[in-house]
């Protein structure tokens, strides 16, 4: 059966499998074409599941979906009997491509700029298309990540990327999707993945320090508003004094005008409330990234329509007296409260491939299985305003598809085919290559 | 350590006794025996702490606790062969050889993560010293008898063990140089070998001194015994096959180094821990007779983890190595069922092979396979009841029993929540627990809990100079 399917699917270009040549995975990008996945179970996510359906892919897009669709002449056919087709998974909280080896290879780390305020740092600039993490992640059915910088108070701008391409430009779906702000944490230093400093001994000092940090962010955003107004005024009336350009303030303008979202990293209740209040005051379009305490703030999140990208499903509860399943249940509680959410690994890179298990665990603790799949497909696409292109199987959407031999979220399920941007991706990675090289060593 | 009154009280409540009986009959379950296949519609009778019977339509005495497990799955309690739970400190990092220190002296039975691990079906832990030293401290094997005093946690009859470590952590690759302070030896993988060799050369001489003394004192009762050396005694036990070596390692060359060194001195490595590149030298590990206790798929977090692949378990298992999946993390320990299932996803191990990774195989690696690791009559009544197949991502633990006693029960946990919430509220409003006003001491910040690779977390190596 397996062999049969493999034989039927002969369009995949052959790849060299040798070790030590990083271009083997990335050097050749498979061509788009016309494909038909036939007689498969199609989990459209946006609508009902289709048993024995066909998905037609042409020129990078999903052309048709259904039980009775025309397969264009010349389409390469994939026998989908016994298989399921899902939209590719999306992890909306990673540093994918910005760091190869976090410890001991500082030269491979491009996550945090020097200083506190770096709105002009753009993740898309530093994404390494040839990172081994990208291949390792996509062969598990993750086709897209939000890749975010992490440092300081204003970390920079996150990019939504396809996990395929030889240049950042080829990977970018939304190159500058959101501004990332580490909402200042009381008693905690730094931000992002792992910063930790003991609380200063005096609460008043701590609170003052916290307020000072918030004020730093506020001032920069106000400056950007003023900058935007000044530039606009000058464009309308060239007799005015010409304002200098400023590379740091310039990129902030669409964010302070609410045209693009601002991601606040915030896990604890105080920080989530602080971020919501701050976004309200500054009229920002807020998204919470982290959200461990989001269940405690659910009614406010709902009221303000602030979505949450949950990264802590597999974190330990932060309080000793928390229920043991408090973070497993977080997603289900947000769902019940009507808060928009998505599930993410929150990982720098290596763990992102396990995204399905994060969603599965949420389903073990109260989230419906359907919502768990949505939490890693359609919901992140909606939160990132790309639901017209990603997150479900509908005609016209980008053909980011995963074909499996079972439930997408189950661990034992295998991925059989993968399409990104309508391109059939070989299911090899640095890890399959090393496996092939050593599995038969005698 | 400072603790809020609130926390202490809730912890005490958390250990409230369940309804217990010395006899429990689990009825009509799917039983994953590990050694005798999967049995459907089967009963398991637990009596006086042991598995008394496995079969269909078993009966029990009238006072037995009956658990209807229709539609549920029973599996042996999970054994985590690499844990640092309940250790108040992990590394004595001042010396390169610290075989004189014991994890048993720093176990904290009130660590709430123990309860969280029970809720993941885990019943036995191998508590290891950290990886700061080529030869680290002594281990402790425990059953998670949360709510009992520390002495009741100890697993009677478990083989004594010791932690060794190789590679980046003992070289202190991530520790910056301090001006004016000499780096600790060793600084290279060459020095790691020589550190261990030196210790075993001394241990061999020490053993000979004692052997000679014992032989001579049989004739002359007035001889003075040699001075005891607490650092070398455990190494003599290793040479005599009375103590298991659990060796933290990553890359192929250092794995081979330790195999060669152990062969030279005539002892065995019981387990290579982490052993991320074990798949590259699987036949050599198998030939030595060592086991491997690994992560399912962690990789890329440092240079020596860059060649790690998730096919490690499958390749080593097929080469004849006894493999287990461990956590090295209080967080990951809660979902070792998922970690084991990954060996079916990557490398296509059979279900029984994958089940062994977290049950019988770690039991073998700790010398407790006659007591735990499978569901067989006569073994300890350490079992977990799951609401679905434990290899399903949607599975949840309903009940965990150790020696026939319930230490976790989801329904009872849920039932207690309203009462605890009420009590929490009362305590929060009590005067001593009110949030401090400005200028007062800051509230306790949540303790940093290791979620990744505890071994490797520098901030956990708190005894470092």
Give the mean pLDDT of A130-149: 97
Decide if pLDDT at A349 tops 50. yes
Mutation target among A97, A103, A189, A428 for the B interface, most CBs of B within 10 A: A103
Three-state DSSP class for B239?
helix
- The DSSP code sequence of B92-107 is --SSSB-TT-BGGGGB
Nearest CA in chain B to A314: B331
Cis amide prior to B130 (ω within 30 degrees) = no
- pLDDT of A15 reads 34
To the nearest whole Å, the CA of A323 is away from the closest chain B CA by 8
B113 and A316: CB-CB below 8 Å? yes
Give the mean pLDDT of A82-102: 97
Mutation target among A190, A324, A345 for the B interface, most CBs of B within 10 A: A324
Q: CA-CA-CA-CA torsion for B237, B239, B242, B247, nearest 10 degrees?
A: 90
To the nearest whole Å, the CA of A316 is away from the closest chain B CA by 6
pLDDT in tens, A20-35: 333 345 567 899 999 9
Decide if pLDDT at B304 tops 50. yes
* Torsion over CA: A225, A226, A227, A229 (sign): positive
A203 and B395: CB-CB below 8 Å? no
Within 410-429 of B, beta carbons closer than 8 Å to A belong to 413, 417, 420, 424
Mean pLDDT, all residues of chain A: 91
The whole-angstrom separation of Cα A250 and Cα A253 is 6
Q: Are B135 and B97 in contact (CB under 8 A)?
A: yes
- Closest CB from A133, A314, A353 relative to B331: A314
For chain A, give every residue range classified as CATH 3.20.20.140: 89-387
Within 34-73 of B, beta carbons closer than 8 Å to A belong to none
- The DSSP code sequence of A357-392 is HHHHHHHHTTS-HHHHHHTTTHHHHHHTT-TTTSSS
Decide if pLDDT at A8 tops 90. no
**CATH code for the part of the protein at A1-88+391-442:** 2.30.40.10
Give the mean pLDDT of B219-248: 97
The whole-angstrom separation of Cα A189 and Cα A206 is 11
> In this predicted complex, what is the ipTM?
0.91
- The kind and range of the H/E element at A349 are none
Give the mean pLDDT of A28-44: 94
The whole-angstrom separation of Cα A248 and Cα B401 is 60
B297 and A354: CB-CB below 8 Å? yes
A104 and B338: CB-CB below 8 Å? no
Half-sphere exposure in the Cβ direction for B150 (13 Å, CA): 15
The whole-angstrom separation of Cα A210 and Cα A278 is 13
User: What are the chain B neighbours of A128 within 8 Å (beta carbons)?
Assistant: none
Mean pLDDT, all residues of chain B: 91
- pLDDT of B435 reads 64
Give the mean pLDDT of A80-99: 98
Three-state DSSP class for B326?
coil
- pLDDT of A202 reads 66
Q: Are B451 and A316 in contact (CB under 8 A)?
A: yes
**CATH code for the part of the protein at B78-371:** 3.20.20.140
- pLDDT of A442 reads 86
- Closest CB from A201, A319, A356 relative to B446: A319
- Closest CB from A201, A316, A412 relative to B344: A412
Q: CA-CA-CA-CA torsion for B345, B351, B354, B355, nearest 10 degrees?
A: 140
Instruction: Supply φ then ψ for residue B9, to 5 degrees.
Output: -65, -45
- pLDDT of B439 reads 46
Give the mean pLDDT of B368-391: 98
- pLDDT of B452 reads 54
pLDDT band at A364 (very low <50, low <70, confident <90, very high): very high
For chain A, give every residue range classified as CATH 2.30.40.10: 1-88+391-442
Task: State both tokens at B226.
Answer: 């040699």
To the nearest whole Å, the CA of B284 is away from the closest chain A CA by 10
For chain B, give every residue range classified as CATH 2.30.40.10: 5-76+407-433
Distances (CA, A) of A251 to A32, A122, B428: 34, 10, 45
DSSP H helical ranges for B218-292: 233-239, 252-265, 282-288
Give the mean pLDDT of B312-326: 98
User: What are the chain B neighbours of A199 within 8 Å (beta carbons)?
Assistant: 442, 445
Instruction: Supply φ then ψ for residue B432, to 5 degrees.
Output: -65, -15
- pLDDT of B18 reads 62
Burial of residue A120 (CB within 10 Å: 0-12, 13-18, 19+) is middle
Closest listed residue to residue B437, CA positions, set A374, A202, A122, A215: A202
Mutation target among A17, A353, A438, A442 for the B interface, most CBs of B within 10 A: A438
B338 and A369: CB-CB below 8 Å? no
To the nearest whole Å, the CA of B461 is away from the closest chain A CA by 15
Q: Is B377 on the interface with A (CB under 8 A)?
A: no
Task: State both tokens at B396.
Answer: 């949840």
Q: What percent of chain B has pLDDT over 90?
A: 85
pLDDT in tens, A192-220: 343 444 555 566 777 788 899 999 999 99
Mutation target among B327, B442, B447, B453 for the A interface, most CBs of A within 10 A: B442
The whole-angstrom separation of Cα B394 and Cα B400 is 17
- pLDDT of A423 reads 95
- The DSSP code sequence of A171-201 is HEEEEEEEEEEEPPPTT--S-TTT---PPPS
pLDDT in tens, B165-205: 999 999 988 888 889 988 999 999 999 999 999 999 999 99
Q: Are A83 and A97 in contact (CB under 8 A)?
A: no
Decide if pLDDT at A134 tops 70. yes
β-strand partners of B441? A202
The whole-angstrom separation of Cα B347 and Cα B355 is 14
Instruction: Supply φ then ψ for residue B151, to 5 degrees.
Output: -60, -30
How do strand B38-47 and strand B271-274 relate by DSSP bridges? Answer: unpaired
B174 and A320: CB-CB below 8 Å? no
pLDDT band at B126 (very low <50, low <70, confident <90, very high): very high
A412 and B301: CB-CB below 8 Å? no
To the nearest whole Å, the CA of A341 is away from the closest chain B CA by 20
B300 and A364: CB-CB below 8 Å? no
What single-letter DSSP state applies at residue B51? E
Residue A219: count of CB within 10 angstroms of its CB: 11
Decide if pLDDT at B458 tops 60. no
Percentages (nearest 5) of helix, strand, coil residues in chain B: 35, 20, 45
* Burial annotation A5-17 (CB, 10 A radius, 16+ → b, else e): beeebeeeeeeee
Q: Are B292 and B321 in contact (CB under 8 A)?
A: yes
Residues 6 or more apart from A110 whose CB is under 8 A from it? Answer: A98, A99, A126, A128
- pTM attached to this predicted model: 0.92
- pLDDT of B64 reads 95
- The kind and range of the H/E element at B21 are none
Q: Which CATH number fits domain A89-387: 1.10.10.60, 3.40.710.10, 3.40.50.720, 3.20.20.140?
A: 3.20.20.140
- Closest CB from A198, A364, A441 relative to B393: A364
DSSP H helical ranges for A246-352: 253-256, 269-282, 298-304, 330-337
pLDDT in tens, A382-432: 999 999 999 999 999 999 999 999 999 999 999 999 999 999 999 999 999
Q: Are A393 and B326 in contact (CB under 8 A)?
A: no
Q: Are B174 and B461 in contact (CB under 8 A)?
A: no
- pLDDT of B431 reads 80
A104 and B6: CB-CB below 8 Å? no
Q: Are B141 and B158 in contact (CB under 8 A)?
A: yes
User: What are the chain B neighbours of A314 within 8 Å (beta carbons)?
Assistant: 331-332, 335, 451
Residue A297 region, left (φ>0) first, then alpha (ψ -120 to 50), else beta?
alpha
Within 205-264 of B, beta carbons closer than 8 Å to A belong to none
Q: Is B342 on the interface with A (CB under 8 A)?
A: yes
**CATH code for the part of the protein at B5-76+407-433:** 2.30.40.10
Within 149-168 of B, beta carbons closer than 8 Å to A belong to 168
User: What are the chain A neighbours of B6 within 8 Å (beta carbons)?
Assistant: 321
Q: Is B287 on the interface with A (CB under 8 A)?
A: no
To the nearest whole Å, the CA of B45 is away from the closest chain A CA by 28
Task: State both tokens at A274.
Answer: 């602080």
Decide if pLDDT at B32 tops 90. yes
The whole-angstrom separation of Cα A149 and Cα A176 is 12
Q: Are A98 and A126 in contact (CB under 8 A)?
A: yes
β-strand partners of B47? B23, B50
Q: Are A158 and A148 in contact (CB under 8 A)?
A: yes
Q: Is B311 on the interface with A (CB under 8 A)?
A: yes
Give the mean pLDDT of A189-194: 40
Least confident of A402-411, B403-412, B453-462: B453-462
What single-letter DSSP state applies at residue A303? H
Percentages (nearest 5) of helix, strand, coil residues in chain A: 30, 25, 45
Decide if pLDDT at B460 tops 80. no
Q: Are B399 and B406 in contact (CB under 8 A)?
A: yes
Nearest CA in chain B to A359: B393
Give the mean pLDDT of B88-117: 96
Decide if pLDDT at B296 tops 70. yes
């Amino acid at each position: 059966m397996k062999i049969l399917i493999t034989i039927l699917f002969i369009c995949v270009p052959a790849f060299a499998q040798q070790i030590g040549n990083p271009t083997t995975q990335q050097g050749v990008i498979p061509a788009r074409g016309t494909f038909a996945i036939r007689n498969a179970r199609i989990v459209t996510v946006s609508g009902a599941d289709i048993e024995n359906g066909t998905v037609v892919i042409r020129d990078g897009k999903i052309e048709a979906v259904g039980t009775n669709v025309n397969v264009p002449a010349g389409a390469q056919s994939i026998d989908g009997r016994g298989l399921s087709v899902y939209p590719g998974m999306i992890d909306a909280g990673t540093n994918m491509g910005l760091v190869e080896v976090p410890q001991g290879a500082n030269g491979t780390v491009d996550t945090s700029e020097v200083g506190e305020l770096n709105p002009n740092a753009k993740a898309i600039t530093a994404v390494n298309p040839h990172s081994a993490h990208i291949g390792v992640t996509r062969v598990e059915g993750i086709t897209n990540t939000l890749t975010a910088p992490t440092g300081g108070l204003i970390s920079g701008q996150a990019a939504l990327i396809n996990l395929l391409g030889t240049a950042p430009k080829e990977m970018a779906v939304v190159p500058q999707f959101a501004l990332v702000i580490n909402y200042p944490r009381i008693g905690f230093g730094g931000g992002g993945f792992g910063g930790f400093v003991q609380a200063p001994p005096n609460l008043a000092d701590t609170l003052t320090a916290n307020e000072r940090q918030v004020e730093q962010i506020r001032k920069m955003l106000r400056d950007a508003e003023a900058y935007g107004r000044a530039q606009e005024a000058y464009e309308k009336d060239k007799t005015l004094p010409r304002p200098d350009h400023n590379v740091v303030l310039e990129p902030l303008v669409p964010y302070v005008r609410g045209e693009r979202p601002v991601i606040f990293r915030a896990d604890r209740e105080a920080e989530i409330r602080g971020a919501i209040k701050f976004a309200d005051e500054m009229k920002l379009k807020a998204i919470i990234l982290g959200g461990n305490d989001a269940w405690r703030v659910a009614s406010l999140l709902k009221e303000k329509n602030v979505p949450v990208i949950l990264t802590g499903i597999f974190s330990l509860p932060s309080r000793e007296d928390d229920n043991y399943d408090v973070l497993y249940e977080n997603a289900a509680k947000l769902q019940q409260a009507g808060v928009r959410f998505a599930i993410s690994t929150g990982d720098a890179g290596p763990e992102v491939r396990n995204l399905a298990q994060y969603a599965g665990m949420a389903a073990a603790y109260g989230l419906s299985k359907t919502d768990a799949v949505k939490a890693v497909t359609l919901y992140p696409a909606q939160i990132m305003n790309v639901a017209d292109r990603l997150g479900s199987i509908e005609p016209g959407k980008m053909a980011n598809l995963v074909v499996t031999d079972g439930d997408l979220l189950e661990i034992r399920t295998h991925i059989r085919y993968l399409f990104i941007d309508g391109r059939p991706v070989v299911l090899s990675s640095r890890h399959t290559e090393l496996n092939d090289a050593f599995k038969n060593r005698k | 350590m400072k603790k809020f009154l609130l926390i202490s009280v809730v912890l005490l409540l958390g250990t409230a006794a369940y309804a217990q009986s010395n006899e429990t009959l689990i009825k009509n379950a799917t039983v994953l025996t590990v050694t005798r296949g999967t049995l459907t519609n089967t009963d398991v009778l637990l009596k006086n702490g042991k598995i008394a019977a496995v079969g269909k339509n078993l009966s029990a005495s009238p006072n037995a606790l009956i658990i209807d497990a229709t539609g549920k799955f029973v599996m042996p309690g999970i054994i985590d062969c690499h844990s640092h739970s309940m250790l108040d400190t992990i590394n004595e990092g001042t010396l390169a050889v610290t075989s004189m220190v014991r994890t048993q002296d720093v176990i904290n039975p009130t660590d709430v993560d123990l309860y969280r691990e029970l809720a993941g079906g885990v019943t036995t832990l191998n508590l290891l010293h950290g990886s700061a030293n080529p030869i680290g401290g002594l281990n402790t094997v425990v059953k998670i008898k949360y709510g009992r005093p520390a002495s009741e946690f100890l697993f009677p009859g478990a083989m004594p063990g010791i932690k060794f470590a190789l590679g980046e952590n003992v070289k202190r690759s991530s520790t910056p140089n301090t001006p004016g302070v000499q780096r600790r030896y060793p600084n290279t993988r060459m020095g790691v070998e020589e550190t261990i060799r030196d210790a075993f050369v001394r241990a061999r001489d020490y053993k000979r001194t004692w052997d000679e003394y014992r032989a001579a004192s049989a004739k002359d009762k007035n001889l003075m015994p040699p001075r005891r050396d607490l650092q070398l005694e455990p190494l003599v036990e290793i040479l005599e096959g009375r103590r298991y070596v659990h060796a933290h390692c990553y890359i192929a060359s250092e794995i081979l180094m330790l195999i060669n060194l152990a062969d030279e001195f005539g002892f065995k490595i019981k387990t290579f821990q982490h052993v991320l590149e074990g798949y590259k030298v699987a036949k050599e590990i198998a030939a030595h007779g060592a086991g491997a206790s690994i992560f399912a798929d962690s990789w890329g977090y440092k240079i020596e983890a860059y060649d790690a692949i998730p096919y490690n378990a499958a390749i080593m298992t097929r080469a004849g190595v006894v493999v287990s999946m461990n956590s090295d993390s209080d967080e990951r320990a809660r979902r070792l069922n998922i970690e084991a299932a990954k060996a079916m996803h990557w490398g296509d191990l059979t279900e029984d092979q994958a089940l062994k990774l977290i049950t019988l195989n770690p039991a073998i690696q700790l010398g407790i396979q006659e007591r735990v690791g499978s569901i067989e009559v006569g073994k300890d009544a350490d079992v977990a009841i799951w609401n679905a197949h434990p290899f399903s991502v949607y599975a949840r633990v309903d009940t965990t029993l150790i020696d026939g006693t319930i230490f976790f029960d989801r329904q009872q946990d849920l039932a207690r929540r309203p009462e605890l919430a009420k009590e929490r509220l009362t305590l929060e409003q009590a005067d001593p627990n009110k949030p401090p006003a400005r200028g007062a001491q800051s509230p306790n910040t949540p303790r940093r809990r290791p979620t990744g690779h505890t071994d490797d977390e520098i901030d956990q190596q708190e005894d470092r100079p």
